[in-house]
């Protein structure tokens, strides 16, 4: 079974631009979560989608948004990029939603904002 895939793997943008990251979950998984990982803040939860609905949201500004499609694939968008948005963005999928569902992670998209 194929794992979680994320595209692109690396991205360089400049301040003020916007970016869209994509995540394809493991086949059959209906929940997709997004995390931002930085050396200073560690792993921070962005949001979770389940069956095309946002179920949970972390403490990030409205510039960060996401969506999920009917095939469970998910995208996240960051508008008006800031230098501080430079991070590894990780996507994780799970079969269901809830704390008992182990999450399977993709390799991440490394975003650099110049």
Chain residues binding other proteins by CB under 8 A are 4, 33, 35, 42-43, 45, 55-56, 90, 92, 97-108, 110
Instruction: Please state the closest distance from residue 114 (CB atom) to other proteins, in A.
Output: 20
Select 22 or 79, whichever has its Cβ closest to other proteins. Answer: 22
Full DSSP string of the chain: ----EEE-SEEEE-TT--EEEEEEPPTT--EEEEEEEETTTEEEEEEEEETTEEEEE-S--TTEEEEE-TTS-EEEEE-S--GGG-EEEEEEEESSSSTTS--EE---EEEEE-
Kindly state the smallest distance separating residue 113's Cβ from other proteins, in Å.
19
Pick the closer one to other proteins by CB: 67 or 104. 104
Least spacing, CB of residue 23 vs other proteins, in Å: 11
For residue 73, what are the contacts with CB-CB under 8 A and spacing of at least 6? Answer: 22, 23, 24, 25, 32
* Residue 37 CB, nearest approach to other proteins (Å): 9
Query: Which CB atom, from 18 or from 27, has the smaller least distance to other proteins?
Result: 27
Q: Which is nearer to other proteins, 28 or 99 (CB)?
A: 99
């Amino acid at each position: 079974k194929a794992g979680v895939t994320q595209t692109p793997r690396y991205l360089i943008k400049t301040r003020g631009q916007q970016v869209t990251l994509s995540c394809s979950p493991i086949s059959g998984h209906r929940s997709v979560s997004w995390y931002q990982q930085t050396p200073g803040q560690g792993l921070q939860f962005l949001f979770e989608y389940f069956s095309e609905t946002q179920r949970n949201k972390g403490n990030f500004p409205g510039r960060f948004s996401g969506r999920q499609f009917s095939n469970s694939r998910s995208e996240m968008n960051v508008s008006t990029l800031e230098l501080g948005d430079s991070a590894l963005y990780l996507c994780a999928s799970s079969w269901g939603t809830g704390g008992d569902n182990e999450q399977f992670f993709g390799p991440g998209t490394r975003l650099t904002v110049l």
